[in-house]
Amino acid sequence: MSHRPHRAGVAVVALACSALVTAGCTVHGGANGGGTGEFPNRPVEFTVPTEPGGSSDLITRALAQSTEEHLGGTSIVVNKPGANGKVAGNAVFRSQADGHRVAVMPQSLFAIGPLAIDDPEPIELDDMSFVRGLTIEDYVLVVPAASEYDTLEELLAEDRLAFGNSGAGTGGQLAQELLFSIAEVNAADIPFDGGGPTLTAVLGGQIDVAALHPAEVMPQIEAGDLKPLAVFSEERLDALADTPTAVESGYDVVVDQRRFLAGPAGLPDELVDRLGEATDKATRNAEYRNILRSNYIREWNAEPDEVGDQLAESSRRFEDLTEAYRVELGGDE
């Protein structure tokens, strides 16, 4: 797979789409025949690879609504769930590169998915023009409150475990597979269709442990129904200041989910800059920031080249780690 970074973009979660039409600026065409004439000259579509209602959707809606003011036109949100973002990506990255269709994409589709799914037609980094980095969501390793394990060390001293995750090719799966492989624990991977079913399973004791996003587990941690044993971030999380990182405990496992805004390959530099500036201003919006804060999501203020570099580097790192520890993540698409 080619991993040459290009101008790139990041996507967010939104709240509402309103109409505000103003005169656009003139931008001349680039590759794929895109960008000729006024921009925007029709609604700008922000495509989200999830169902309505989740944090990504809410963030994207807040972002899209706020960008209307800065782009001088109407922004709408389109939900295209499926295949960890590939359905949304195909819809956007095969369209005309004129700036009117962008997508909020997950890092896992490019850095983890290829390790789990044999996809004959993957979306390559070269298929995108990166606009901006948007968000970082971390992973928390949790056990039921009634579990006998109170620390990561106690968990990893067990001979056999069953761990849950929200599906093949996700960060939660990769983080746990690496952790248990490094610790030489015989652990069975139990995949579920999303975070909700995974959370239900760990709360009910159907699995021993799971790695989920903070927003998915913090209410249960605060209620005393779950115990956090570790986080897979580089540093401790503010919301879980007493919970050590896996790295602190001696396991070099750092995995997160990043999201970025991107358009089709060949998006003219003028449009990348215009969309990036509008997105940067939109991320300062109070409503957008409140959504991030309430969902324990961190900002990722990355420029296009930084996004491409991050995707390429994480792809190489995860591939090297899975090979070094003989981790198998999945099967065919």
Is 62's pLDDT higher than 90? Answer: yes
d(CA 152, CA 325): 19
What are the tokens at 291? 């959504």
Q: Which fold has domain 140-255?
A: D-Maltodextrin-Binding Protein; domain 2 (3.40.190)
pLDDT in tens, 287-300: 999 999 999 999 99
- Residue 37: which pLDDT band, with cuts at 50, 70 and 90? low
Is 222's pLDDT higher than 80? Answer: yes
pLDDT, the chain, mean: 89
What are the distances in angstroms from CA 53 to CA 61, 84, 105, 212?
A: 10, 16, 17, 18
Which pLDDT score is estimated for 330? 77
Helix (H, G, I), strand (E, B) or coil at 102: strand
Closest CA relative to residue 257, chosen from 202, 303, 215, 320:
215
CB atoms within 10 A of CB 222: 10
Which pLDDT score is estimated for 54? 86
pLDDT in tens, 229-241: 999 999 999 999 9
Angle at 256 (CA atoms; ends 90, 2), nearest 5 degrees = 45
Helix (H, G, I), strand (E, B) or coil at 179: helix
Q: What is the CATH number of domain 14-136+257-323?
A: 3.40.190.150
What are the distances in angstroms from CA 247 to CA 84, 230, 244, 263?
A: 27, 9, 8, 35
What average pLDDT does this structure show over 94-107? 97
Is 180's pLDDT higher than 90? Answer: yes
pLDDT in tens, 103-141: 999 999 999 999 998 888 999 999 999 999 999 999 999
Is 31's pLDDT higher than 80? Answer: no
The set of residues, in sequence order, having a beta carbon less than 8 Å from that of 200 and lying 6+ positions away, is none
Percent of the chain with pLDDT over 90: 82
**Is 140-255 the same fold as 14-136+257-323?**
yes
What average pLDDT does this structure show over 21-37? 40
The set of residues, in sequence order, having a beta carbon less than 8 Å from that of 167 and lying 6+ positions away, is 84, 173, 191, 192, 193, 194
What average pLDDT does this structure show over 257-276? 98
The domain spans of the chain are: 14-136+257-323, 140-255
d(CA 146, CA 326): 32
CA dihedral 219, 223, 228, 233 (to 10 degrees): 30
